């Protein structure tokens, strides 16, 4: 692995490339990351990137967002079939139907959505800034695609929010009984839950936040143990960032996130393969919603 990491780093220098890595990636991918973080962190890095090539270790909607924010860079997705099932649950035509039924509502799309859906949206958001963005918008709101996050926002804001029946298959499988068992096995641990979890999990959580917020909370809280209700790969990031504390995963695996390997990163960079492109008109429209997300972060 050491040689492969060195070869990738050498290629980065040669080609003026950077590698953006999502928290859920395999821990060995962390070794070649120039920037490691959640969707919001990586969107910010993409927006300020001056690299000729961006290798995005995540899933396709993230790579699309990077291309929209850094159009002059060549954006590569090392595993061309690394996609997000939740993002694919709604397309632009389905969103337009919702907008036609609720013409006065503003559309807030979770960043886990396709470029075409973002182009039909007024705002994008992440789990970190969803509440802030929704609270800043008067009137009715269409929130897509995650119904669980939408329910959480609805409860927190007491707003009229029109939901779509989308969900993350990994978070939707985190059941109340899983968390209760973890609490029984680790009675001193606090529960951190992602807002993509079902509402039954929220009731057992000490704190609900996105992956970036999980790092901040576990660093600042006095507890020494945490039960982490999100994709299990987040535990690797937490152990890296907060080495003096213990973390227990109750979430499953996102198989799409795990499709990327060091070998695929090397091949993508060496051959400049699996380039992500976004139609110019869609990119211009989607960027407006993404820029509003970044302005409010």
Greatest extent of the chain over all pairs of C-alpha atoms, in Å: 57
Q: In this structure, what is the dihedral angle of CA atoms 290, 166, 85, 179, given to the nearest 10 degrees? A: 110
What is the domain count for the chain? 3
Q: Which of 167, 195, 212 is the last residue of a domain?
A: 167
In sequence order, which residues have a C-beta less than 8 Å from that of residue 175 and are 6 or more positions away?
A: 198, 200, 201
Q: Could you tell me if residue 21 is inside a domain? A: yes
Q: Could you tell me if residue 290 is inside a domain? A: no
Q: Is the pLDDT of residue 95 over 90?
A: yes
- Res 158: pLDDT: 84
Q: Which of 133, 167, 201 is the last residue of a domain?
A: 167
Q: Could you tell me if residue 193 is inside a domain? A: yes
- Res 39: pLDDT: 87
Mean pLDDT of 159-176: 96
Q: Is the pLDDT of residue 149 over 80?
A: yes
Name the residue with tokens 């006065």: 104
Residue 214 CB burial class (10 angstroms; 0-12, 13-18, ≥19): buried
Whole-number average pLDDT of the chain: 96
- Res 31: pLDDT: 96
- Res 1: pLDDT: 79
- Res 30: pLDDT: 97
The string of DSSP codes covering 198-209 is -HHHHTT-SEE-
Token pair, residue 175, equals 């059941």
pLDDT per residue over 7-17, tens digit each?
Answer: 999 999 999 99
The C-alpha atoms of residue 281 and residue 41 are separated, in whole angstroms, by 25
Q: Is the pLDDT of residue 296 over 90?
A: no
Are 59 and 27 in a shared domain?
A: yes
In this structure, of 106-110, 118-122, 126-130, 140-144, the range with the lowest mean pLDDT score is 126-130
Are 40 and 111 in a shared domain?
A: no
Enclosing H/E stretch for 262: helix 262-271
Are 134 and 71 in a shared domain?
A: no
- Res 111: pLDDT: 94
Residues in the chain, overall count: 297
The pTM assigned to this predicted structure is 0.94
Q: Could you tell me if residue 180 is inside a domain? A: yes
Q: Could you tell me if residue 297 is inside a domain? A: no
E strands along 81-201, which residues? 106-110, 123-125, 141-144, 161-163, 190-193
In 3D, which of 221, 231, 275, 234 has the Cα closest to residue 253?
231
Are 94 and 163 in a shared domain?
A: yes
- Res 40: pLDDT: 85
Q: Which of 167, 190, 217 is the last residue of a domain?
A: 167
With contact defined as beta carbons under 8 Å apart, do 150 and 143 qualify? yes
Residue 57: helix, strand or coil by DSSP?
A: strand
Are 74 and 95 in a shared domain?
A: no
Q: Could you tell me if residue 92 is inside a domain? A: yes
Return the CATH number at 129: 3.40.50.10800
Are 43 and 115 in a shared domain?
A: no
In 3D, which of 108, 72, 116 has the Cα closest to residue 90?
116
Mean pLDDT of 269-273: 97
Q: Could you tell me if residue 292 is inside a domain? A: no
Q: Which residue range(s) make up the domain with 22? A: 2-83+257-277
To 5 degrees, how large is the angle CA 89–CA 118–CA 153? Answer: 70
Q: Could you tell me if residue 59 is inside a domain? A: yes
Q: Is the pLDDT of residue 97 over 90?
A: yes
Enclosing H/E stretch for 43: helix 39-48
Phi, psi dihedrals of residue 82, rounded to the nearest 5°: -80, 100
Q: Is the pLDDT of residue 238 over 90?
A: yes
pLDDT per residue over 168-209, tens digit each?
Answer: 999 999 999 999 999 999 999 999 999 999 999 999 999 999
Are 230 and 187 in a shared domain?
A: yes
Are 118 and 135 in a shared domain?
A: yes
Mean pLDDT of 13-37: 96
Are 122 and 74 in a shared domain?
A: no
In 3D, which of 140, 84, 82, 149 has the Cα closest to residue 110?
149
Q: Is the pLDDT of residue 128 over 90?
A: no
Mean pLDDT of 207-223: 96
- Res 297: pLDDT: 75
């Amino acid at each position: 692995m050491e040689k492969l990491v060195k070869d990738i780093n050498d290629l980065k220098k040669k080609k003026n490339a950077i590698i953006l890595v999502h928290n859920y990636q395999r821990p060995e991918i962390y070794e070649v990351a120039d920037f490691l973080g959640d969707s919001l962190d990586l969107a910010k890095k993409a927006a300020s990137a001056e690299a000729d090539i961006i290798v995005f270790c995540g899933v396709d909607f993230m790579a699309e967002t990077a291309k929209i924010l850094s159009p002059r860079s060549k954006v590569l997705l090392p595993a061309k079939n690394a996609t997000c099932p939740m993002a694919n649950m709604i397309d632009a035509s389905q969103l337009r139907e919702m907008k036609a039924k609720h013409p006065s509502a503003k559309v807030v799309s979770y960043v886990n959505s396709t470029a075409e859906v973002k182009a039909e949206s007024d705002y994008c958001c992440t789990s970190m800034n969803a509440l802030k963005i929704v609270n800043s918008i008067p009137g009715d709101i269409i929130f897509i695609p995650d119904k669980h996050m939408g329910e959480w926002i609805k409860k927190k804001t007491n707003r009229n929010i029109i939901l779509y029946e989308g969900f993350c298959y990994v978070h939707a499988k985190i059941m109340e009984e899983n968390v209760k068992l973890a609490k029984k096995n680790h009675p001193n641990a606090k529960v951190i839950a992602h807002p993509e979890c079902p509402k039954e999990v929220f009731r057992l959580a000490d704190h609900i936040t996105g992956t970036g917020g999980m790092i901040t909370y576990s660093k600042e809280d006095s507890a020494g143990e945490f039960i982490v209700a999100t994709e299990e790969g987040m535990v690797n990031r937490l152990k890296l960032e907060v080495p003096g504390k213990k973390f227990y995963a109750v979430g499953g695996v996102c198989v799409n996130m795990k499709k990327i390997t060091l070998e695929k990163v090397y091949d993508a960079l060496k051959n400049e393969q699996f380039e992500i492109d976004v139609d110019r008109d869609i990119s211009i429209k989607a960027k407006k919603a993404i820029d509003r997300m970044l302005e409010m972060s």
